[in-house]
Amino acid sequence: MKNKTTAAILIASAMMLTLMGCGEASTENAPATGELSIEALAPDEGTDVLDPSSSTSAEADSETASDADSSASNSEDASIEINGKKVSILDDLQTTMDALGTADGDPSSDASKALYYSFASGAIEYTTVKLDGEELPLTLDIRSGDYKTSKGVGIGSTEDEVVAAYGEPTKVDNGEELVAESSNGKTPFLYLTEYKLDGYTIVFKYSEDKKVEKFWFNHNANNARYDNQ
């Protein structure tokens, strides 16, 4: 509803208006002391008033939902379909093990303390490591079979098809830093393209005719912890 506030404004002295060409001031033009009515508007009853805290809360809820959607999207992008189930390097250990099914046998290990699980007669290798008492995923390695990434890339895909799906790689390794040599004195062929993405990295290894011969997913955070231990 509207409230009216009346404020009395006192004029300390009458303003003298000098008229061009006249020597006297006209008393008729002198302002008189009086009351000035000022109308102040207040919000009508029933009108919704925006609470700043509710706006902040809504923004926080929106950001939380966005983060959750982004996390789900990242896991989906970092996945392949195995046995009719989505398997992602970003999933926890038990989720991935359940999706991969029965392992070929007990995991192997080496001096690095990593554990290597083999599935589908060696077509898939899942590497984990125990850090601070917890077994964490490091790498999901696709060595053979008709398995595809979420963007449709698999073994046998050409380099052009990989670039069409993922864009230009973050890093290319063409074997220049390879020190080891084969028995005949020639440097073995090596060509890798690496894509560092949100939370994971995918690496494609090519044959000499520039077709994917294997690929693998790395869990970025867990590999960083493993390298720094």
Buried b (16+ CB within 10 A) or exposed e, 50-80: eeeeeeeeeeeeeeeeeeeeeeeebbebbbb
In sequence order, which ranges of the chain are alpha helices (DSSP H)? Answer: 52-77, 93-100, 159-166, 220-227
Q: CA triplet 147, 151, 155: central angle to 5 degrees?
A: 35
Partner residues linked to 105 by β-bridges:
none
- Given a cut of 50, is residue 119 above it in pLDDT? yes
Q: pLDDT confidence of 188, banded at 50, 70, 90?
A: confident
Cβ atoms of 204 and 155 within 8 Å: the answer is no
- On whether residue 50 sits in a domain, the answer given is no
In a 3-state reduction of DSSP, which class is residue 224? helix
Summarised one tens digit per residue, pLDDT across range 13-44 is: 444 434 344 444 444 444 444 444 444 444 55
Our CA angle for 198, 141, 126, nearest 5°, is: 95
What gap in Å lies between CA 191 and CA 174, rounded to an integer? 4
145: domain range? 63-227
Q: What is the pTM of this model?
A: 0.67
Percentage helix, strand, coil for the chain under 3-state DSSP, each rounded to 5: 25, 35, 40
Q: Average pLDDT in the 183-191 region? A: 73
What is the structure's pLDDT at 111? 83
Q: Answer whether residue 139 is part of any domain.
A: yes
Tens-place pLDDT, residues 157-179: 999 999 999 999 999 998 776 55
130: β partners: 135
Classify residue 205: in a domain, yes or no.
yes
Number of domains in the chain: 1
Q: pLDDT by residue (tens digit) across 71-106?
A: 545 667 889 999 899 999 999 999 999 999 999 999
- Going 220 to 136 to 97 to 145, the CA torsion angle's sign is positive
Residue 57 in domain:
no
Q: What is the mean pLDDT of the chain?
A: 77
* Structural domain contains residue 120: yes
Q: Determine, yes or no, domain membership for 40.
A: no
* pLDDT: which is higher, 163 or 54: 163
Length of the chain: 229
Tokens of 207: 């044959």
Q: Is residue 143 part of a domain?
A: yes
Domain assignment of residue 89, yes or no: yes
